[in-house]
Amino acid sequence: MSFFVAGWYLVYTKPRQEKKVATQLSKSDIKTFLPVFKNKGNRADGKKLGFTPLFPSYVFVQLQSMTDYYTCADTDGVITYVKFGKKITRVKDEVIQNISMLVDNCPDITVLSGNVHSGQKVRIEDGPLSGLSCEIAEHEGQQKVLVHVSVLNLYIVVNVSLNKYLIEMC
């Protein structure tokens, strides 16, 4: 890697190692972001609540230097950085902010892959999702909010009532 740019990147981890990787990197003073959502546990009674990574086998990392880059790459449980060609892919700050906002404010989150018929691009201007750049689209017969995570080619789909938000068309 000849030219380093500080920012958010994405690492691919061994299966079910996301939390372990995030914890180890935090101990090395590397900022991580592991978006999770609440789910019912595997118990038959469904009473135990657990937290599941929104993107299994992926952890977002904020690298400040080449030292951070190598520390992260050498962390137990990390397989590789997400790359396009030979270049590691940088994740825009706006994507991290959007995902964080959705995870913090929306209990009903779904992740979809593949071709999703996206809709009109908007920016929410009021309420707990203020500043969110998203798309409004029809999904399963209802209007939904979509946030595209292009580095993973996935869409986060949120079921919210749009009537209570001030929306600006982009």
Give the pLDDT confidence of 33-67 residue by residue, as tens digits: 999 987 765 555 556 667 899 999 999 999 999 99
Residue 72 has pLDDT above 60, yes or no: yes
Among 4-8, 97-101, 144-148, 158-162, where is mean pLDDT lowest? 158-162
The pLDDT value recorded for residue 167 is 65
Range of the domain at 117: 94-169
2 occurs within a structural domain: no
> Alpha-carbon distance 164 to 43, whole Å?
37
Q: State the pLDDT at residue 162.
A: 65
Would you state the pLDDT for residue 165? 60
Co-location of 30 and 53 in the same domain: yes
Residue 42 lies in a domain: yes
**Higher per-residue confidence, 88 vs 120:** 88
Q: Is residue 19 part of a domain?
A: yes
Q: What is the mean pLDDT of residues 96-122?
A: 84
Say if residues 61 and 32 touch (Cβ distance below 8 Å): yes
Torsion of CA 114, 117, 119, 122, to 10 degrees: 0
CA distances from 13 to 39, 75, 76 (A): 21, 10, 9
Confidence grade of residue 133 (pLDDT, cut at 50, 70, 90): confident
Evaluate if pTM is beyond 0.95. Answer: no
| Counted domains in the chain | 2
